[in-house]
Amino acid sequence: MGLPSKKGISVDTPSRWNSRWKMLVEALIYKSVLTSYTNRKMIESPSEQEWERAAAICEFLKAFEELILIVSAHRKPTAH
């Protein structure tokens, strides 16, 4: 399926706001694998509409992730 075999999906860390975002981004990358797995196991999987919502949420939150990385750049010198 063209996916890295050693990579896994991140888990949600309640103390980190972006962990759920990262988990969703990775789930979207693995959408075909997850869908195939749930079909084989006869487990309910997200509908196409739910996948589309997840993609929209990821796109929306991406701006926050980029902003947080800029604002919290602790390795850059700042003026005091």
Indicate whether 58 belongs to any domain.
yes
Q: Count of domains in the chain?
A: 1
Q: What is the pLDDT of residue 59?
A: 94
**Are the CB atoms for 11 and 24 separated by under 8 Å?**
no
Indicate whether 79 belongs to any domain.
no
CB within 8 A of 46, min separation 6: which ones?
54
Is the pLDDT at 6 greater than 90? The verdict is no
* Domain limits for position 65: 18-71
Indicate whether 37 belongs to any domain.
yes
pTM over 0.85: no
Query: From the centroid of its chain, how far is CA 75?
Result: 25
Per residue in 12-59, pLDDT (tens digit) is 777 777 888 888 999 999 999 999 999 999 999 999 999 999 999 999
Give percent above pLDDT 90 in the chain: 48
Indicate whether 23 belongs to any domain.
yes
